Every structure is written in structure tokens, then in C-alpha cells.
Amino acid sequence: MGPLHGDVTVRGSKNAVTKHMVAAVLGNSPSTVRNCPHIGDIEITAAMLRALGCQVDVDADGGIVHVEPNHIETGRVPVSYGGLNRIPVLLVGPLLHRMGEVFVPLVGGDRIGPRPLDFHMASLEAMGAEVQVTPEGLEAKALGLHGARIRLPFPSVGATETVLLTAVLAEGRTVVENSAIEPEVIELALFLQRMGARIELRPDRRFVIEGVERLEGAEHHLDGDRIEAFSYLVAGLVTRGRVRVHGCAQGRLVTAISTLHRMGARFEITDDWLAVSADSLRPAVVQTDTHPGFMTDWQSPLVVLFTQCQGMSVLHETVYEDRFPYVRALQTMGAEVELFDSCLGGSNCRFHETTAMHSAVVRGPSLLQGAEITVPDIRGGFGYVIAAAAAKGPSLLHDVHHLERGYHRPLEAFAQLGLHISREGPTAPS
């Protein structure tokens, strides 16, 4: 369809804003989060908090979310919010501090493999909660929560956030080892610190939290979404264009930048924006990993980019065991992609000798053809739009609400970059 050119400004991280909304529940006064994206997950989380008794005001155009937590009346999140996103389980700790008894429905989110609650439950139990899983969700109660020494079997972002959100008001000291240190986790810790929490990040992935008696509300301006920034940069490369991305600092994209550099891309980087271009791109071998490794949420745009490189590339996914449901549609569009259950292109990961198809081999360049596609999840959906932008002929994408749940007004942004895109049927809820 032609090269994509132009400017995109990304707002705050989708993976951070809803966690800040949960953190606001811990305060004795209102909190305000700024630079928020206009995404479906904010409204889902806001409705969840309102069901508990919070007052939540969302200014989608201004990018502001305001949470007043002092009118919480219940510790039960309605079952109707089950399966919509991953937020309910993060509410357990904050609601235990407020109500003593909690029910949250089972988590949802993208279909990218199992998201077991074991790490969350074990951490909550170590801090004094009684927890059980029912057919509908998770029930927990506690007379009081205390500090504990916790070692996570895997540096899970969600489990680390559960510990942070619970330990800040627990009595005594909590040490969490092998924790996630993604920028969004650090940003949550800093927000909690603004609220009055005593949190320290030690070497070797250790958080040390000294519980305090009370927290106050705080204000925070979210840092730019590194997933969205990388995705738009790659959209320019895939279509042999050039997209200039504003709103996301270079420091949040270090691993992504170095990966694209190795493939032959040229960067322009200032304090205000980043842009990337290339005459041709070399193949690469990339392994996803926890931070500071190559982010798992970057892999679907990268696989689409591999289809336009000269030669054979490999993507080894080590974080989620079912992250490739989007590949079938790329194959329909003409991409040469094969999936394997072996650990290709890196050391053996935790999916070694399982049946999980977690390595992709991509041969390029491929002449992609437009197709009718059903979007499986947020990140795969963005990859489809990039592939459709590079394809010959029109494409029809179904279930674009997945895309709009995780990206700030993506259809408008692509239209501004020169992609002819129109919606058929009803508008997805915001």
C-alpha cells in the first residue's frame, strides 16, 4: 500500500496505567494519573473500581484518570469482570488491607498461554492471607498482613506487582527475590513511593519493602509506552517508510534499538523523538526475555519485519508458551514462517522439551498479499495492521477491539501515517 511516513506521539504505557489505578486504592486521599492512553483497559478497570465504591473520573481526551478511594464499600469484584483483563488479582492485596475479605474473578487478557495464579497465591499466603481458588475466582481473607521473604520461581511482572501492592501496608519487612524489573514495574514502585511507601531496589532483582501504616494519594505523569513506540518504528521499516515517534524516551528502547541496529537500520535520536530507516535489512536471531532482554510484547511486529528481511531469521520466545497464534494469518498473507517446539537461536528455556511451539523461523523477503483476518490479541493485532500496510491489495480485519484495548487510538494514528483505513460496522467501546 506504500510507505508509511509521518509523526506519532505515544502516551503512557498500557501496562502501567491500570496498575497505577489499583495502587490508588491504597491511598487515604485521591490520586491522579496523567498522560494516560485512550484504551479500553482503562474503562474496564475504572468500572471495576466503581463497583467497589471508588469514584473514578476518566478524561480520555486529556489523558487524565482521577481515583477517589475513600468510599470503598466491598471487597468483592463482580464476577462479570472476570476474563476481561489481568487487573482483578492485583486488587487482592489492596482490598485485604481495606476490607479483610476479598473475592476477585479469574483473570483474563490476551490468549498467549497460561497465566497461573500460583505465584500470586503463594506470595499472598506468605504474607498471612488465606487464599483459595473457586470455580468463579479467588477468595482471600486476612486479619492482618505481615512482611515475608519471597522468592519468585520466575521474574513474573504480575506477581512482583502483587507483592509490591500488598507489602507496602503490611507489618514489617518484605524481601522479594528474582523479581521483575521491567520499566513499568519500576514506575509502579516509584508511584507507591510518592504515596509514602518505603521501597528499595537492591542488586540481583531484589525489592525490599518496609511496611508503613498509611499511604496518601499522589500524582504521576506516565512515561511513554515502549511497546507502542517500537511498533510504530517497525511499521515504518516494514513499509520502507520512516515514522518519527514522540513521547517515549530512548532509555526505554535500548534493547530494541540495538536489535534493529544489528539488522542494518539507521536511527535518528533526539531528546524529543526517535526515527528509524533502512535501505535493506539483514536477518537476525532474537530471543525474548525478561527485562533488560528483548521484550516479549515486541516480538509480533519484529516477526512481521523478518518477513521483509533478506534471508532466514529466528525468534525464540521464552516468556509465554503460546505467543504465536497470529502466525497462521501471516502465512495466509504469504509469509514463510514455520513454528517449532525446540529452543532455536538461544539457550534452552523453561519450555525446553515441552510441546509448546515457541520458536519461529522466518524466511524473507515475502511478497505479502491482503487477506481477511481475525485479530487474536492486542500485540498480534498490531502486527496484522503492519503486515496489511505492507501487503499488496486490501485487507479486512475482524475483532479490532483487541487492538483498541491496548493502543492509543491506533486507527487514527495509522491514518495520519498515510495508511488508508476505514471501519465497517459499529465502533468498539472505549
All 3 cell numbers of residue 85?
483483563
Provide the residue type at 362 as one letter: V
Counting beta carbons within 10 angstroms of the beta carbon of residue 132, is it exposed (0 to 12), middle (13 to 18) or buried (19 or more)? exposed
Q: Are 288 and 349 contacting, i.e. CB atoms less than 8 angstroms apart?
A: no
All 3 cell numbers of residue 383?
502486527
Distance CA 19, CA 71 (A): 19
- For residue 66, which of 26, 24, 27, 14 has the smallest C-alpha distance? 24
Distance CA 179, CA 126 (A): 15
All 3 cell numbers of residue 385?
495492521
All 3 cell numbers of residue 308?
521483509
Query: Catalytic residue at 110?
Result: yes
Q: Which residue out of 110, 225, 297, 377 is catalytically annotated?
A: 110
Distance CA 325, CA 303 (A): 12
Q: Are 42 and 18 contacting, i.e. CB atoms less than 8 angstroms apart?
A: yes
Q: CA angle at residue 410 from 406 to 412, to 5 degrees?
A: 150
Using CA atoms of 324, 430, 102, 319 in order, give the dihedral in degrees to the nearest 10: 20
Output DSSP code: residue 427: P
Q: What radius of gyration do the chain's Cα atoms show?
A: 21
Output DSSP code: residue 213: S
- For residue 408, which of 185, 221, 229 has the smallest C-alpha distance? 229
Output DSSP code: residue 4: -
Q: Are 45 and 73 contacting, i.e. CB atoms less than 8 angstroms apart?
A: no
All 3 cell numbers of residue 421?
483505513
Active site residues: 110
